Amino acid sequence: MSQVTEQTTPRDSRGATAPIIQAIGVSRDFQLAGETVHAVRSVSLDVHTGEFITLVGRSGSGKTTLLNMLAGLDHPTTGRVLFEGIDLAEYSEKQFTHMRRHRIGVVFQSFALLPLLSAYENVELPMRIAGLGAADRSKRTHEVLEMVGLERRSKHRPYELSGGEQQRISIARAVAMRPDVILADEPTGELDSVNAAAIFGLFREMVTDDGMSVVATTHDRTLLDLADRIYTMHNGELDLTEVGRHVDADAPFKRPESAGE
């Protein structure tokens, strides 16, 4: 965890832990072929420390757009995204850089690995940029590669790895700096059921043992019993589906009224 998170966790007027990330009425519109596409519509979401949230929904429902706004990679057309109570719209470039290097880890659906670097170098690079010493970088890189079961493939370049292996490398890179928040876009989309369960189990351990917060999108409903809250996105709108210590993946899902099969 970063030094900032070792301070007293902010609390609201009722004494409850304040959200580390908060989306307040965010919408995101795009212009496409002269028409306005409403990718996200008036979504509000609180992400608390030590919480595992999953977003489910069909492709094109707005999940990725919402994650990008939570990460500060995209900006809402209307509404606000707060990180520890501060509007991201007020962040300087220096603040954004620090947040992305130390506070938020992003797992992209497209992996976003550098093709000329080995798996080891892809994982180590963010720590090198952040100024960690060589010994610390080496130790942590080996730790996270072992964590995702790929230390034996550390010298391979992305094109020498399967899609599932590339995804696991991208997850190792995202968690290497021990960020406060992991935002993962379909992190198990390229994995078989065994490896998918292992990755979600890893996320669950990071939430439970390290106090990280995880927001992950997924199509795999067999993994949802590891989450604390499940939201369904449909046509850019967010609907709370289920809440629990760990939710019951076999329970019937409440769907938005406008959602069809």
- Could you give the CA distance from residue 234 to residue 165 in angstroms, rounded to a whole number? 30
- Could you give the CA distance from residue 63 to residue 247 in angstroms, rounded to a whole number? 20
- Could you give the CA distance from residue 15 to residue 205 in angstroms, rounded to a whole number? 26
Give the C-alpha distances (Å, rounded to integers) separating 40 from 30, 94, 210, 233: 10, 28, 31, 9
Three-state SS at 237: strand
Tokens of 176: 């290497």
Selection from 18, 40, 20, 11 nearest residue 183 by Cα: 20
H-type alpha helices, the chain: 63-70, 93-98, 119-129, 134-147, 163-175, 193-210
Provide the whole-model pTM. 0.82
pLDDT score recorded for residue 244: 61
- Could you give the CA distance from residue 56 to residue 234 in angstroms, rounded to a whole number? 9
226 dihedral zone (left: phi>0; alpha: psi -120 to 50; beta): alpha
Q: Give the CA angle between residues 181, 187, 191 to the nearest 5°.
A: 150
If one counts every other C-beta atom within 10 angstroms of the C-beta of residue 59, the result is 8
**For tokens 């220096």, what's the residue?**
94
The per-residue pLDDT string of the chain (261 residues; one tens digit each, 9 = 90 and over) reads: 433 333 344 444 434 467 999 999 999 999 888 889 899 999 999 999 999 999 998 888 899 999 999 999 999 999 999 999 999 999 998 998 899 889 999 998 888 899 999 999 999 999 999 889 999 999 999 999 998 889 999 999 999 998 888 988 999 999 999 899 999 998 887 778 888 888 888 889 889 888 899 999 987 777 788 889 999 999 999 988 867 666 554 554 443 333 333
Identify the structural domains of the chain with CATH numbers, from first to last. Answer: 18-243 (3.40.50.300)
- Residue 192: exposed, middle, or buried by beta-carbon count in 10 A (0-12, 13-18, 19+)? exposed
